Amino acid sequence: MVKILYVEDNEDNVYMLTKRLARKGYEVVVAPDGKQGVDMSQSEMPRLIIMDLGLPVLDGWEAIRRIKSNAATSDIPIIALTAHAMAEDRAKAHDAGCDDFDTKPVDMPRLLGKIDALLQARQAS
């Protein structure tokens, strides 16, 4: 089973997305803030991370930079999933090290397509 780390502080979003991903066969572990997201990226070693950007304790952009700067976790694909939908938000997420970017509210088929593409690309490398 493919493990996904979902870093999100909104309980409603966590409930909705974890249920929908679990129905698709993914194992989802959740971190409620950026610091725990960084820590769990190392302790859980997920195959993919979905990262909110507006997080408490440590924002998503900094959490991404820390995950990508660690040799043990640097090649884990990260999808930024955020309500910050402006072009500059997308560029900032990319500059921090995100592999892809998606917006809330979640378009499940589109998000699943991005997850599949990143997992397949990682397997091929």
Q: Which domain holds residue 90?
A: 3-124
**CATH, residue 91:** 3.40.50.2300
Cβ pair 67, 31 in contact under 8 A:
no
Taking residue 79's Cβ as centre, other Cβ atoms within 10 Å add up to 21
Which residues on neighbouring strands pair with residue 28, listed in sequence order? 4
Across the beta sheet with 100-103, the strand order is 27-31, 3-7, 48-51, 78-82, 100-103
Q: How far is CA 83 from the centre of its chain?
A: 14
From first to last of its 125 residues, the chain has per-residue pLDDT tens of 999 999 999 999 999 999 999 999 999 999 999 999 999 999 999 999 999 998 999 999 999 999 999 999 999 999 999 887 777 878 888 888 999 999 889 999 999 999 999 999 887 76
Whether this prediction's pTM lies above 0.85 is answered by yes
Could you give the number of structural domains in the chain?
Answer: 1
